[in-house]
Structure 1
Amino acid sequence: MKFVAFSDTHDSIDAINDLISEIKNEKVDFFVHAGDVISPFALRRFSEIEKLYIAFGNNDGDRSKLTEIALEMGWVSGEVVYAEGIAVYHGTNPGLLKILEKKYDIVVTGHTHEARIVRDGSKLVINPGESCGYLTGKRSYAIYEDGVVSIVEF
């Protein structure tokens, strides 16, 4: 299995455009956005991506419109999204995150804006960092392929 994970795009159209340029030619099974797209106009920028799973973040605004766009595009969205055997959650509730970590071998989360990979036996938690670069000054995403995770700055 191979996927690209990103998070915290925060309406930064320049960052989203750069991210899409970076990832659109990746040969992956799917893409995940671990929250804080923010607004419908930003979500529409991902239209070049066919298979996208989107977890809502704490700053996402009009969730009904975000859901409508996701449905139009054939994407999956929600508070917690289950994507081909993994869980995707923005990560604002530490108790829920711990439950997901126990149930799923791979959990993708966001919220902290800090890229992080945590392994505990067969369990893996991936935070791809922030794609917008607002807090850390670094734009990043993660690529997972058959157990190997890389954080990529762009």
Structure 2
Amino acid sequence: MLVGIVSDTHDDLDVVEAAVDLFESRGVDAVVHCGDFVAPFSVTPFDAGFDFHAVRGNNDGEWAVESTVNSFGTYLGEAGTLSFGTVEVAVTHGTSEVVVDALVDCGDYDYVLHGHTHASGVEERDGTVRVNPGGLPIPVAGADDSFHVATLDTTEPGAAAVTHHRLDR
């Protein structure tokens, strides 16, 4: 199974459409958005040919984001868990590093997906892989001047299953 991972799109329809186009061209089965859509209009392009799951980000101030996601996908609230076959995944926005680290360190999940920092990255610790797909470019440590998303191939083991994709805006 191929899973698309995206975060921190912040109402930028150009990057949302670029992400959806990439996911469709790669034939992903599901997409997970790690929060910070901001407004419902930037949710609707994800109503595409894949299953869709999302968590709430710290900038998702409009509560209609939840009902918009639920109209075609699954809204997980502040955090949630997903199973892709035998692969167990935890998803949170990532506002709290303590929570992200606890999810990684507990050993219950194969992957922990989060955003918030806008810096793409992957880290494997004791059998759990932490994945941040990145987000809109902002001037923070670890981020560059491009928008990034990721894909996760659940048939591959560990960090090698994750590919980051740099998208032009």
Specify if TM > 0.5: yes
Tell me what 1:118 maps to.
Answer: 123
Counterpart for residue 73 of structure 2 = 74
What are the equivalent positions in structure 2 for 1:95-110 lying under 5 Å apart? 95-101=98-104, 102=106, 103-110=108-115
- Separation of aligned partners in 2, 1:96 and 1:26: 31
3-state DSSP of counterpart to 2:118: coil
- Please list every run of 5 or more consecutive structure 1 residues that lacks an aligned counterpart in the other structure: none
Query: Which residue pairs with 1:92 in the alignment?
Result: 95
- C-alpha separation between the residues in 1 aligned to 2:41 and 2:12? 10
Q: Cα gap change, 1:142/1:74 in structure 2, threshold over 3 Å: closer, same or farther?
A: closer
Deviation (angstroms), 1:20: 1.3
Say whether the 8 Å CA contact 1:70–1:77 is kept in structure 2: no
Could you tell me which residue of structure 2 aligns to residue 2 of structure 1? 2
Give the letter aligned to residue 70 of structure 2. Answer: L
- Change beyond 3 A, Cα 1:112–1:104: same
Kindly state the Cα deviation for residue 83 of structure 1 after the two structures are TM-superposed. Answer: 1.8
Does the alignment pair 1:56 with 2:60?
no
Rounded to whole Å, the distance in 2 between the matches of 1:5 and 1:150 is 10
Q: Does 1:149 align with 2:128?
A: no
Alpha-carbon deviations, 1:34-89, whole Å to 9, x = none? 110110111112122431110111111112x1111122113233110212120111
Q: Would you say the 8 A contact 1:10–1:38 is kept in 2?
A: yes
Partners of 1:42 and 1:134 in 2: CA distance:
19
Match of 2:137 in 1: 133
Note if contact 2:34-2:92 (Cα within 8 Å) is conserved in structure 1: yes
RMSD: 1.6
* Partners of 2:81 and 2:150 in 1: CA distance: 18
Identity over aligned residues, as a percent?
28
Aligned residues: 152
Return 108-117 or 27-36, whichever deviates more.
27-36
